[in-house]
Structure 1
Amino acid sequence: MTGAGLAWGEGTYARFAAPIGAIALALYILLTAATAWIMPDANWDMLPYLAVAEEGTYPDPQALHDYAYSTVKAGVSAADYKTLTDDGGGFRSHMAENAADFHSLLGMYRIKFLYAEILSGLSHVVSPVEAMRLVSVVSVLLFGVITLIWLRSEGALALAPIVGAGLIMADFGDAARASTPD
């Protein structure tokens, strides 16, 4: 009797492994995207990416600095903003107070010019901080769709939960929540 039950279970799972795998990975991707939208991770790199996105609009370093900091202040909680700008006199505090030094760092962020252009374009539709979150969410969803299409084309949808486990171990969810392209 036990052998017959196991055989039935194995046969049933084998028959539905591909849809179960696809559903499992799709749910993980959807939950990750929802988390990226609902609980974004405010990080310091938001500030220079926003500045690079609007350099054409604010050519003066002080005006660009003021734009970036005021935009982030309006888009994140007071606690997050304090974390981003006040580290007791360290790097973050210095950058919050010194527009010239902040501006000197932007070269490292200009490398991801496509991200900056997307932010600049989306900022005409939604707030700049929401644009950052939107890019993260769309990226997660696009990654999930491409991964599922690839697994299907390889006949490996049954392995989708293993891909999901690998993404979890690689901290994909944390990366998705970050408001940067990194």
Structure 2
Amino acid sequence: MLTRPSPPTNPLERLTGAGLAWGEGAYAKWAASIGAVAFSLYILLTASTAWFMPDANWDMLPYLAIAEEGAYPDPQALHDYAYSTVKAGVPAGDYKTLTDDGGGFRSHMAQNAADFHSLLGMYRIKFLYAEILSSLSHVVSPVDAMRLVQVFSVLLFGAVTLAWLRAEGALAMAPVVGAILIMA
């Protein structure tokens, strides 16, 4: 025979039980709204992080180079453009990290325009990204153009994901999707 446990006598246990019961009921009632808001906050936080705390990585250099390849047909001029643009657009410490690794790959590429130019073929595969960067670079600085593309991509991904979850009737699962994205 199943027996019901005796009601808690401790006021803290009663308060905790009442709070959990209310939270369970509220989430059951507004699960889709809570899920959408939680996921939206995650996406907005990610987008603002991409804008306010950008990650400068070495791939910026070749992507900026292929974006303006038409304007700088000479490998040395293209190399100088890419490196000077990044130097002007990132903090000095980040630029040093991108160009000086104590004689390794990054240092070599910063010194050798021909070798830098020989790597650009691997980056041409993302031709649409390069075209977008080239177009945006006429409006904002090239480094800011990269940041805008990152922010827009995050926001677009979030909107498409929310639309998909809504179409599937699974907005309540949006926080789970956010958790999976954090772990991925």
Task: Name the counterpart of 1:156.
Answer: 170
Q: Secondary structure at the match of 1:96?
A: helix
Displacement of 1:7 in angstroms is: 5.1
Partner Cα distance (2:30, 2:138) in 1: 45
- Correspondence 1:48-63 to 2 at 5 A: 48-63=62-77
Partner Cα distance (2:23, 2:172) in 1: 15
Q: Secondary structure at the match of 2:87?
A: helix
Cα deviations by residue, 1:7-34 (Å, 9 ceiling, x for unpaired): 5543321111110000000000000000
Select between 10-19 and 130-139 the one with higher mean Cα deviation: 10-19
- Greater RCO (Cα-Cα under 8 Å, separation 6 or more): 1
Q: Equivalent of 1:28, from 39, 42, 47?
A: 42
Aligned residue pairs: how many? 169
Displacement of 1:163 in angstroms is: 0.4
Task: Name the counterpart of 1:110.
Answer: 124
Partner Cα distance (1:127, 1:7) in 2: 53
Partner Cα distance (1:9, 1:50) in 2: 50
Structure 2 portions without partners, runs of 5+: 1-6, 8-13
- Correspondence 1:70-85 to 2 at 5 A: 70-85=84-99
Taking structure 2 as the reference length, what is the TM-score of the superposition?
Answer: 0.89
Residues 17 and 97 from structure 1, CA distance in 2 versus in 1: closer, same or farther, beyond 3 angstroms?
A: same
Q: Secondary structure at the match of 1:42?
A: coil
Task: Name the counterpart of 1:145.
Answer: 159
User: Partner amino acid for 1:100?
Assistant: A
Q: Percentage identity across aligned positions?
A: 83
Task: Name the counterpart of 1:179.
Answer: none
User: Partner amino acid for 1:150?
Assistant: W
User: Partner amino acid for 1:79?
Assistant: G
Q: Secondary structure at the match of 2:139?
A: coil
- Correspondence 1:34-45 to 2 at 5 A: 34-45=48-59
Q: Equivalent of 1:100, from 114, 138, 142?
A: 114
Taking structure 1 as the reference length, what is the TM-score of the superposition?
Answer: 0.90
Q: Secondary structure at the match of 1:105?
A: helix
Displacement of 1:69 in angstroms is: 0.1
Task: Name the counterpart of 1:69.
Answer: 83
Is 2:144 the partner of 1:130? yes
Is 2:134 the partner of 1:120? yes
Partner Cα distance (1:109, 1:74) in 2: 22
Measured on the aligned residues, the alpha-carbon RMSD in Å equals 1.3
